[in-house]
Chains A and B, each alone.
Chain A
């Protein structure tokens, strides 16, 4: 009796967490781990879904890495990721500082501001294509016209296409960042504001010396999420320009899509995906390492 009473809880103690994890693990295995392993396998093969794959060694990696478009796509992806991340955090911060509080109308405005994030990307892209119509009679160009500017080609010139996509990304990403920053702001100890006010700190010094340090963990999370999201940017680019014009908005994911699903060269596309995966993992680890250095 006593033996049982001792052994049973210990066994259960070991198994219980795994039992709770099992459903998630099974789903992850089916939809993430198995496909990821398959992608690694595919990257070393000429993939022929019906006839059977052919081993090609590292040829696919050679094709991807020596492709002139690949280098350009990496550059566009990095520019887009950095621009969208910085823009979204900055705009999100401004919005959060403006809309912090418990008043009822603020709640309403916050919900309205959050809308771009929850609307389907396909709809967002369609709306922005209309706003960006590059003729002088286009909606945004008409607005520019009031100030004697434009008309701009927006998505349709290689000089402005990437920044136009970036603007859509910021418009869509900022409210999301705003929500996380709002949550962070609520966690900043109110007594610190009072103490600094008593010490004679003005609005800006309170922001700089109390609010921002209090938000540091929030910024780390936002940066990590944005770095990963930024490298995998696809839908906005695919729907707005598909890498055009002149390849000026080609990013890694649109390039991989073209290789795999338009040219049916799934092996090379898989190799491209693995390179992207390695880059994402490296970047995430780097951010984490920095975070550890920062906290110790």
Chain B
């Protein structure tokens, strides 16, 4: 009895010690070692299968075994846990906006674009999204996307409106969607805008950034290590006032002040709101929910005094630190960015695509996808989009601006100008602590 107990105790303690040991230092290399791939997808979603198909095609081509893990909720937290156990996956396919955080934590490897095969085929804009504050690259591009305005075309026709070309048109259409019963059910239950206005993951700022840029406003002025807050500009104040007004005029779906994307999408699905600035990944979902041919995709019009600019995003293939197969890591990233890898990821017009817009310029998207709305997204990405500002760590700025935008949107008495002045002060402090302020 006591002996068994002693054995159990020893085993538990030994297990604990093993878990605590391990080091970030040199790892012996094995060119055939299995690659663990983490991807930010909801488990069970069609995109998980497409991710597995991509890995399978890679294994078939190179003989290197792979294991794909789809994680969606708390992806970054789970990555931190893996980091603290010094047992990171080999590959992580995740948002471009996570770059600064990953570099800051020292858990991604530097990539020399010159060493990547057929590097010239990958678009320069996509390469830019792999560049950290220090000017070095820390990933290989995988997928790109830009935001566009989804409009219920059947509603628009029902209220007799044209496709909006200016922000005044947007306001007019939002009012009509709210007041003119576009779904014709005789009830006052529709709204103009669907907005993820929560502070969670910085959604309010993430959403509003396209509008800010399109009106000529910006988060910072200057470049490199000489950045200064520019979020208190008159243009930014005007945009935030406009945003606030749409909430106070009730042309935004009620409840948007606390809605994250998971809560906002269903408002479009269910025919509660008729306009939604979001990414191409929602096309298949919305078509299925409201019916094909009823959802049109148009570029966000330019704001007063600005040029139309939408938020560009995408995903990178990150090569994680401490891998036992560094050569294999690079091979996978190359394969994922190659025409073959990109085609698998695009998944035609089907739901579950993991490559929204190909980053490889030799891929002909029109040949893979019949839906012309993809071309609209491609044009916006190429000509009228930009990534989030390059700072050492974007998250604190995203969070504090989301908090300010949320506060102004949910209080019709709030003064956008003074709120933005306070935000600019926060930005200045944060820039200084990240050693990026000039």
Chain A residues near B (Cβ < 8 Å): 19, 22, 26, 30, 48-51, 129, 132-138, 153, 155-158, 161, 240-247, 258, 261-264, 266
Contacts and interface: CB of A to CB of B under 8 A. Distances in A.
Given A244-B198, A261-B74, A264-B80, A156 B106 contact: no
A218 B22 CA distance: 50
Q: Which of A22, A26, A30, A135 has the most CB of B within 10 A?
A: A135
23 contacts: A19-B2, A30-B12, A49-B84, A50-B83, A50-B84, A50-B106, A51-B106, A129-B255, A134-B255, A135-B189, A156-B255, A158-B410, A158-B411, A161-B258, A241-B258, A244-B199, A245-B257, A245-B258, A261-B74, A261-B80, A263-B396, A264-B101, A266-B80
Contact of A243 (B80, B106, B199): B199
Contact of A22 (B5, B258, B263, B322): B5
A245 B372 CA distance: 39
Interface in B180-194: 187-189, 191
B257 A26 contact: no
B12 A262 contact: no
Contacts of B411: 158, 245-246
Secondary structure class of chain A's binding surface, majority of residues? loop
B46 to A, nearest CB: 23
A26 B12 contact: yes
B403 A247 contact: yes
Contact of A156 (B5, B187, B199, B258): B258
Given A133-B254, A242-B198, A244-B258, 12 more contacts: A30-B16, A48-B105, A48-B106, A49-B107, A50-B88, A50-B105, A50-B322, A135-B189, A135-B254, A156-B255, A246-B411, A263-B396
B435 interface: no
Interface in B381-435: 395-396, 399, 403, 406-407, 409-411, 414
Contacts of A133: 254-255
A245 B5 contact: no
Contacts of A22: 5, 9
Interface in B286-319: none
B327 interface: no
Contacts of B76: 261, 264
Contacts of A132: 255
B201 interface: yes
Interface residues of B, number: 50
Interface string B213-226: 00000000000000
A124 to B, nearest CB: 15
Contacts of B101: 264
B200 A242 contact: yes
A42 B421 CA distance: 34
User: B74, B83, B199, B407: which has the most chain A beta carbons within 10 Å?
Assistant: B199
Secondary structure type dominating chain B contacts: helix
B257 A264 contact: no
A157 B12 CA distance: 51
A156 B254 contact: yes
Nearest to A48: B105
Contacts of B410: 156-158, 244-246
Contacts of B199: 242-244
Contacts of B81: 49
A263 B399 contact: yes
Given A129-B263, A136-B188, A242 B258 contact: yes
Contacts of A243: 199
B106 A134 contact: no
A241 B256 CA distance: 10
Contacts of A156: 254-258, 410
A245 B201 CA distance: 14
B86 interface: yes
A250 B379 CA distance: 41
A150 to B, nearest CB: 12
Nearest to B86: A50
A177 B80 CA distance: 38
Nearest to A136: B188
A166 to B, nearest CB: 16
Interface in B346-385: none
B14 interface: no
B40 to A, nearest CB: 15
B260 interface: yes
A240 B189 contact: no
Nearest to A151: B254
A155 to B, nearest CB: 5
B254 A134 contact: yes
A288 to B, nearest CB: 33
Nearest to B107: A50
B161 interface: no
A138 B272 CA distance: 12
B321 interface: yes
A48 B197 CA distance: 31
B5 A155 contact: no
B105 A264 contact: yes
Contact of B80 (A49, A158, A161): A49
B77 interface: yes
